[in-house]
Structure 1
Amino acid sequence: MRERPALKRAPVAFISREWRYMDYQELCTFEVLYGAYKTARVGKRTKQGTAQYEANALACTERLAYILSTKKYKPSKFETFYVYEPKKRLVQAPAFVDKVVQHALVDNILYEAITRSFIQDSYASQIWKGMHVGLDRLRAQMQDYYRKRKGHDEAARRAAGLPYRPPEEWDYAQGWILKADVHHFFASIDHDILKAKLVKKIADPQVYELMCTYIDSTDGLPLGYQTSQLLALMYLDDFDHWVKEKLHARYYGRYMDDFYIISDSKEYLQDCWAKIEAYIHDLKLELNEKTAIFPLKNGINFLGFHTYLDSKGGVIMKLRRDSKERMNARLRAWRKDYPAGRVEKDRIIASWKAWDAHAAHGDTYILRQKIAAQVTEITGVQCTARKRLKTSKNAKARKLIQKMRRQQVKKKPAPPAVPPGFPW
C-alpha cells in the first residue's frame, strides 16, 4: 500500500502529536501498541487490570501485536456499572487490553478519518472542541444574533428617515430556541446504518473489519468504549450538514445527542422540528419528549449551564441548579466523612478544584467564593475561587493557529515544466 504523507499541524505548546495515515499492518506493530499502552494507562495505573498488564507490559504488548496481526483478536467481556451524575446511565467499560487497541485505532487512524468532515459546531471527543469551546460558541452565536437584529433594525430606520431606537425600547434579544435531544441515543444506533457510513470513511478493509467487531459486541454502542464516542458523532454528521445546508440554520450547535437551533421565527423552528423528526426517523432514532420551542429570553440549558441573552446584548451563564445541588451534597458528605477519616484532604481539594474550574466558565464568582469558604472550613486549607475563564485554552490555541495561517504568505504554484518537443 502506498505510503501517504503525514498531516502537519501548526505547533502548539500543549499539543505534542501529529496526525498521520496508518494501515492495519503498521497498527499491529509493537511500537504503535506500546505507545497506545502508555497513553491508555494515564490516570489508571492503580486499577487492577492496568497493574496486571503493566507488570508484564513488554510481553503483553508483543502478544497483543501477534494476536492482532494473525486476526485472532476478539474484544473481552466488558465491565457493566451505572453512573449517577448528572443522571443514571449504564456504562460498559472495556478491559484494559481492549483500551490499548482502541487508543491505537483512534489516535492513529479513526480520529482523522472520521472527524475531518465534522462541522465547526459539532462538539465532544475532539481536540479543541470540548464542552467549554461549545459554551464559547453558544455565547458567540447569541451575541452575533443580537448584533444582526440590531444592525438590520438600524438600517431599516435609517432608510425610513427615522432616528435610532432609544435603548429602553430595544427588543433585539427577542427570539426563539428549538432545544432537543435524541432519546436513548447510544442504545438506539442501528448497526447496518452505522456500518454503511463507516465504510465510506475507512479505506483499509482490515481496519473496517476490526471496527465491526466492536460495533457487533452489543446492541447499539457501548457507552464506555472510546471508539463509540467518535462513531456516535459520525452517525449524526450528515444530519449536521443537512441542518446547516438544507434547513439553513445559522445558529446551531450539537454536543453528541443534545442540540439547539436559534431563530427569530417560531414558525421556522416548528417547520424544522417536523423535518428533523422525519430525518432522524430514517436513522431509526426519535427525539426525547423534552424537546420544545421556547423564548430566547428564557435561556437554554446546554452543557451544564443555563445561558440567556439580556436586553442589552449581554450573555449570562449561570450554573444549572442540579450542578449546584450535587456540589452541596458533596459538601454535606465531606462534613461527615472528613472528621471520621473516610475521605482524604487531598481528594476533597482535587474534587473542589475540578468543580471550580468548570464553574469558572460562567457568571458564578459569588457562588464559587461561598463554596471555597465552605471547603476551607472543612479542610482547614485556604481555598480561593479562581477568576472567571472567558475563553478556554483550547479556543485560544485554535485562534492562534487561525491567525498564523492568515499570516502565511501564499505562494503561487510554479508552472509545470514544458515537455521536450511541446509546441507551446
Structure 2
Amino acid sequence: MQRDLLSDKYRPGGYSSFYIIEPKRRKISAAPFRDRVVHHALVNVLEPLFERRFIFDSYACRRGKGTHRAIKRSQYYLRKHPWCLKTDIVKFFPNIDHIELLRVIGKTVRDEATMGLIRRILHSGEGLLSDEATPHFFEGDDLFSVLRPKGLPIGNLTSQFFANVFLDPIDHFIKEDLRVPGYVRYADDLLLFGDSKAQLWQWQTAITELLEDWRLLLHKNKTHVLPTHCGINFLGMRVFQNGLRFNQNGIRRFNSRVKRFRWLKKRGAINPARITASIRAWLSYARFANTAGIREAIWRRLKF
C-alpha cells in the first residue's frame, strides 16, 4: 500500500453499504480495511493544518470536543442569552458538493499529490448517497448542474473531517462577519444565541443566502427561534439553563433497540459482546443528564 501511494497507483476499493434506523434511517457505507487505513493516515496529516483554523465552538469529530462538551457549551450560552436559533442543514452529507469542497481544501493543501489522493477518495464515494440527495436548482444553475459530483459516504473518517472543513468558512462568517455572540455547531446542527429575536431571524436569512452559495439548504421545518428559559432539544438531550434531561425520543429509541437485540439474540444473529457494548455506551451517555431513576428502571428490565 505504501508503494502504491508513493507511486500514485493507489486506487480505493468498493464500499459495503447498509442502513441504520436510529435516530433516523441512514445509509452507512463502509470502505475496505485497506482504505480505512489510508483515511486515518490522511486525516492525521491534514488535521494539524486545519485544526488551527477551526473555531473553538465546532464540536463534531475533533480531539477534545464531542457531544458532552457541545451540550455544556450550549448550556453556558442558554444562561447568557434569552433567545436561541436552532437549525440544521437539509441532507448535509448527501449534498456536499465536491467541486466546492475541493476549492476549500485547496486553499490550505498545496501539495498536488495529496490533492490527487483526496480527489480519488471523494470520487470513490460519488453517487453512494444520490438517492438521498435533495434535488434543487440554485441561482445560476443549468441543466447540467444536476450532474455535479456530490455526497460524502457516512462512515468514513474522511467524511466527518471534510464536513468540518466544508463548514469552516460558514463558522467564520457567523462568528466574524455576523458577530453572533453565542454559537455552537455539532456536524450540521447549528445553535445561535442572541439577545434579540428579530436579530436571530436576520442572521438566519444571511446564513441561508451564504449556504446557497455552497449549494446547501437549511431545514425550513427545523428552523426555530426559541426562548432559552424553556430549554432546547440538542444531541439527544433536553438542555436547560441549569440542568439536563434525556430526550423522551431517545428513551423510546433505546427501548426499541433493546427489543431488536432480544430478537436477534434469540436467533443467534448477534454477538452478546456487541449488545453489552451498545447498552453500556447508551447508559454512559444517559448518565450525563438527570437520569438516575430512568437508568435504574432500564437496568432492572435488561434481561437477555
**Which TM-score bucket, shorter chain as reference?**
0.7 to 0.9
Tell me the equivalent position of 2:277: 350
Give SS of 1:216's match: helix
Mapping for residues 246-325 of structure 1, pairs under 5 Å: 246-289=177-220, 290-309=222-241, 315-325=242-252
Q: 1:89 Cα shift?
A: 0.9
Judge conservation of contact 1:114–1:230 (CA < 8 Å) in 2: no
Give SS of 1:122's match: coil
Mapping for residues 94-105 of structure 1, pairs under 5 Å: 94-105=31-42
Q: 1:272 Cα shift?
A: 0.6
Matched, 1:224 2:131: no
Tell me the equivalent position of 2:50: 114
Once the two structures are superposed, residues 141-198 of structure 1 have per-residue CA deviations (whole angstroms, 9 ceiling, x without a partner) of: 223x06xxxxxxxxxxxxxxxxxxxxxxxxxxxx221111010111111222111111
**Count of residues in Structure 1 that have an aligned counterpart in Structure 2:** 279
Q: What is the letter of the counterpart of residue 298 of structure 1?
A: C
Give the TM-score, by structure 1 length.
0.62
Counterparts of 1:263 and 1:232, CA distance in 2: 26
Give SS of 2:23's match: coil
Matched, 1:89 2:16: no
* Structure 2: gaps (5+ residues): 127-149
Tell me the equivalent position of 1:80: 17
Structure with higher Rg: it is 1
Counterparts of 2:118 and 2:295, CA distance in 1: 44
Q: 1:345 Cα shift?
A: 5.5
Tell me the equivalent position of 1:68: 5
Counterparts of 2:66 and 2:122, CA distance in 1: 24
Q: 1:349 Cα shift?
A: 3.5
Q: 1:300 Cα shift?
A: 1.4
Judge conservation of contact 1:316–1:362 (CA < 8 Å) in 2: yes
Judge conservation of contact 2:94–2:151 (CA < 8 Å) in 1: yes
Tell me the equivalent position of 1:135: 71
Tell me the equivalent position of 2:255: 328
Give the TM-score, by structure 2 length.
0.86
User: Which has the bigger relative contact order, CA under 8 A and spacing at least 6?
Assistant: 2
**Bigger shift: residues 360-369 or 327-336:** 327-336
Percent of aligned positions that are identical: 35
Counterparts of 1:210 and 1:343, CA distance in 2: 36
Distance 1:370 1:206, change over 3 A: same
Once the two structures are superposed, residues 36-63 of structure 1 have per-residue CA deviations (whole angstroms, 9 ceiling, x without a partner) of: xxxxxxxxxxxxxxxxxxxxxxxxxxxx
Judge conservation of contact 2:78–2:229 (CA < 8 Å) in 1: no
Counterparts of 1:188 and 1:351, CA distance in 2: 30
